Amino acid sequence: MARNKVKDPNHLSFGRLMAWKSSDISAGWVNVIMLNYLSMYASDFLGLNIGLVDVMLFVSKLMDGLVDFFIGWLVDNTKTPWGKARPYEICIVGQTLATLFLFLAKPEWAYTAKVIWVFTMYVLTFSVFGSLRAVPMSAYMIRAFSNNPVLIRKVSSYGGIVTMFGSMICSALFPTLMAQLSTGALGWFTPVAIFMVPATFIGVFRFIFCKEDPEVDAASVQQKVRFKEIFSMFRQNPYVWLYAIVMLAYNVSTGLGAGSYYFDDIVGNVGMAGMLSVFSFVLLPLMLLFPWIMKKMGSMGKMIAAFSVVGVIGYLVCFFSGANLAGVLGGYLLGQFATLPIAYYGTLFLMNVCTYNEMKGLPRMDGSANILANFCANFGGSLGSLLTGLLLMVAGYVSSTAEETVVQPASALMAIRIDFAIVPAILVAIIGVCCLAFSKLEPKAEAFEAERHAKYEAEQAGKAQA
């Protein structure tokens, strides 16, 4: 007699994992190009003042707080045939196309036209399409994987490898393509198009294949979330602020974009900047151990705090290595190891934040809970770029167009070294302190969820007996 196979609810198929991570691969390519090379494109190709560019991008993020606040409220009150958060996923197409169009600008354009074009496309990429996609992300993930914490941890860990691998491909290949192709008739548009055209098609796979599980919201009537309750969360939930600070520090670090300057002016070969990503491939297998390390250390926060100590040491090694490639790569590897979980465990942070909301008698607000963190993520990327611009401007960095060759003063070279190593070391230390404080919530949230689950099971059993 044939035995019926029972589907394992914790099983994560490779196809579903790749479908979910397709959008993150595309977004990762956008971030690699925009955060690491936009400043150089604007200053060294278009001839814009580096300080003006970074102030302009920084100002564009001041609007994000209001935009993200509205989007979070909108997600919590969204109900469509496609689900609560899934409809917003299609905005990945807007991100890739806006990134591509930004690099259409030419050095011969009028100065004001270049400034307006870069500003507009940047706002569309991050403040509009980026926010519409990022704020609902946790709500989408929770529903796409049936609110199953085991599945969500697997997607975060294994999927992080996929995303990191995809970003490394772009980080490794783009500097070489940029160095070879950016001098052609189309300038930087050609190397950017090589990544953004396929990213546009790859990015929609998540929207097509990853549907929301309607059972997640079936047990309760969807209630309207008021702005008053969102403000109450900001007042009563300290952990939403801790996670926001973590995301701010992390994205300031990734948004510095100092690697291209470091390899161009310190190492002497900008094409070698791709080595940072190639060398970072050794980190991929370590991500498989993160769930085990997390279990041994007792919490995600404690694990990241411990990693942060290693990261600070790594960035100090980078600073004192100067042009020594081996030292730079080794130190950078340790620095990246420290923040690796943050890039992929955001949903786990937010699940705990939402549980604390319920512990305080508030709605769960898995859309609005991401408002502050997403704002800090977007704002942090621009703040990192601003810090780089201000440091180099104060230090006397000389901007140039594609046809000019300049020699940077010693003060600018030192500023590049500080921006590449010392600033990230400080940011990693901040992340470690915040994550250690956040770790106090994790066992409390786990106990609360277990108690609620037991109560629900008892109620279901009572109904069955009746």
- Give the Cα separation of 381 and 392 in Å (integer): 17
Q: For residue 275, what pLDDT is reported?
A: 67
Q: For residue 36, what pLDDT is reported?
A: 81
Q: Is the pLDDT of residue 238 over 60?
A: yes
Considering 7-16, 34-43, 98-107, 176-185, the range whose residues carry the highest mean pLDDT is 98-107
| Structure confidence by residue, pLDDT tens digits, 117-160 | 999 999 899 888 988 998 888 889 888 988 777 788 788 878 87
The chain-wide mean pLDDT, for the chain, equals 84
Q: Of the given ranges (91-100, 196-205, 286-295), which has the lowest mean pLDDT?
A: 286-295
Q: Is the pLDDT of residue 2 over 50?
A: no
With contact defined as beta carbons under 8 Å apart, do 239 and 359 qualify?
no
Q: For residue 39, what pLDDT is reported?
A: 81
- Confidence bin at 239 (pLDDT 50/70/90): very high
| Structure confidence by residue, pLDDT tens digits, 347-395 | 889 888 988 988 888 888 888 888 888 788 878 877 887 888 888 888 8
Q: Is the pLDDT of residue 221 over 70?
A: no
Measured CA distances, 272 to 197, 254, 344, 403 (Å): 25, 18, 27, 21
Q: Is the pLDDT of residue 279 over 70?
A: no
CA angle 27, 208, 17 (to 5 degrees): 65
- What pTM value is reported for the model? 0.74
Q: Is the pLDDT of residue 31 over 80?
A: yes
Q: Is the pLDDT of residue 250 over 80?
A: yes
Q: For residue 356, what pLDDT is reported?
A: 92
Q: Is the pLDDT of residue 242 over 80?
A: yes
Q: Residue 166: CB partners within 8 Å, gap ≥ 6?
A: 21, 24, 25, 28, 29
Q: Is the pLDDT of residue 331 over 80?
A: yes
Q: For residue 133, what pLDDT is reported?
A: 92
| Structure confidence by residue, pLDDT tens digits, 288-330 | 778 788 878 888 899 999 999 999 999 999 999 888 888 888 8
SS in 3 state form for the chain? CCCCCCCCCCCCCHHHHHHHHHHHHHHHHHHHHHHHHHHHHHHHHCCCCHHHHHHHHHHHHHHHHHHHHHHHHHHHCCCECCECCHHHHHHHHHHHHHHHHHCCCCCCCCHHHHHHHHHHHHHHHHHHHHHHHHCCHHHHHHHHCCCCHHHHHHHHHHHHHHHHHHHHHHHHHHHHHHHHHCCCCCCCHHHHHHHHHHHHHHCCHHHHHCCCCCHHHHCCCCCCCCHHHHHHHHHHCHHHHHHHHHHHHHHHHHHCCHHHHHHHHHHCCHHHHHHHHHHHHHHHHHHHHHHHHHHHHCCHHHHHHHHHHHHHHHHHHHHHHCCCHHHHHHHHHHHHHHHHHHHHCHHHHHHHHHHHHHHCCCCCCCCHHHHHHHHHHHHHHHHHHHHHHHHHHHCCCCCCCCCCCCCCCHHHHHHHHHHHHHHHHHHHHHHHHHHHHHCCHHHHHHHHHHHHHHHHHHHHHHHHHC
- Confidence bin at 184 (pLDDT 50/70/90): low
Q: For residue 220, what pLDDT is reported?
A: 46
Q: For residue 1, what pLDDT is reported?
A: 42
Q: Is the pLDDT of residue 201 over 60?
A: yes
